[in-house]
Amino acid sequence: MQFTELNAEAQSITIPESIVNIFAQSVRANLEALALDADMPLTLFENQEYEQVKTYLQASILQMQYLLNNVELLDALHQK
C-alpha cells in the first residue's frame, strides 16, 4: 500500500506554477505515447506472437498505473 499522506512541512511548500505546467506537459506526452503505441499488441496478436502480446500488455499495465499516479498527483497540485 502506498503512503499518501504528506507531512505538515511538505504540505506547506508552494510549488511554482511553471513547475506544475512542465509536469503536466510530461504527463500529456506520456499519455500521447501510450495512445500512439495502442496498435502494437494488435499487430503482435495478428502475427500470433502471444508471448510478446502478454509481455506488452503487462508492461502497459505498469505504464498506465504510473500515468494514473501522475494524473492523481497533478490533480492534487492543481487543487492546492
- pLDDT tens digits, 47-66: 999 999 999 999 999 999 99
**pLDDT tens digits, 9-62:** 666 778 889 999 999 999 999 999 999 998 999 999 999 999 999 999 999 999
Q: What letter does residue 12 receive in the DSSP assignment? A: T
Query: In this structure, which amino acid lies at residue 3?
Result: F
Rounded CA-CA distance 57/55 in Å is 5
The pLDDT, as a whole number, for residue 11 is 64
Task: Kindly give, in sequence order, each residue whose CB lies less than 8 Å from that of residue 11, ignoring residues fewer than 6 positions away.
Answer: none
* 3-state SS class at 27: helix
Report pTM: 0.75
Given this model, what pLDDT does residue 1 score? 47
The amino acid sitting at 47 is: N
